[in-house]
């Protein structure tokens, strides 16, 4: 697996750039590995209808989300991934 397209969040509107690159469709899969709440919110906004989210990052605390528009009404499947030796690897 190699990246064919890279974005710098300091230089681009991530959601708009993803929408433009995907002709308005958005992405099918979101892998959130950073534990950054802003990245999660942007990823959910860029996710297509019926998309899948895998949460691997650990967040510092509770994360505020608009579940109605970013998860429920978009029929998003949300998975929490555990079982890694996170502190040993």
In a domain, 12, yes or no: no
In a domain, 67, yes or no: yes
Question: Residue 51: which H helix or E strand, with range?
Answer: strand 47-55
pLDDT tens track, the chain, 89 positions = 688 889 999 999 999 999 999 999 999 999 999 999 999 999 999 999 999 999 998 999 999 999 999 999 999 999 998 876 656 65
Question: Which residue range(s) make up the domain with 51?
Answer: 25-80
Q: In this structure, what CATH number is given to the domain that contains residue 70?
A: 3.40.50.720
Asked, for residue 85, whether it belongs to a domain, the answer is: no
Residues 6 or more apart in contact with residue 42 via CB below 8 angstroms:
9, 14, 15
Q: How many helices (H) and strands (E) does the chain have?
A: 3, 3
Residue 11 CA to residue 62 CA, distance in Å, equals 27
Helical segments of 4-87, H only: 14-21, 37-46, 67
Q: Is residue 15 part of a domain?
A: no
What does pTM read for this prediction? 0.86
47 in Cβ contact with 27 (< 8 Å): yes
Residue 51 lies in a domain: yes
Instruction: Decide if 20 is inside a domain.
Output: no
Task: Flag whether 38 is in a domain.
Answer: yes
The total domain count for the chain is 1
């Amino acid at each position: 697996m190699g990246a064919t397209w890279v974005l710098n969040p300091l230089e681009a509107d991530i959601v708009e750039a993803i929408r433009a690159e995907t002709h308005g469709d958005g992405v099918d899969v979101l892998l959130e590995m950073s534990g950054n709440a802003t990245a999660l919110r942007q990823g959910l906004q860029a996710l297509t209808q019926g998309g899948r989210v895998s949460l691997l990052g650990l967040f510092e605390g509770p994360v505020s989300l608009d579940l109605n528009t970013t998860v429920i009404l978009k029929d998003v499947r949300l998975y929490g991934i555990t079982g890694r030796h996170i502190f040993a690897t």
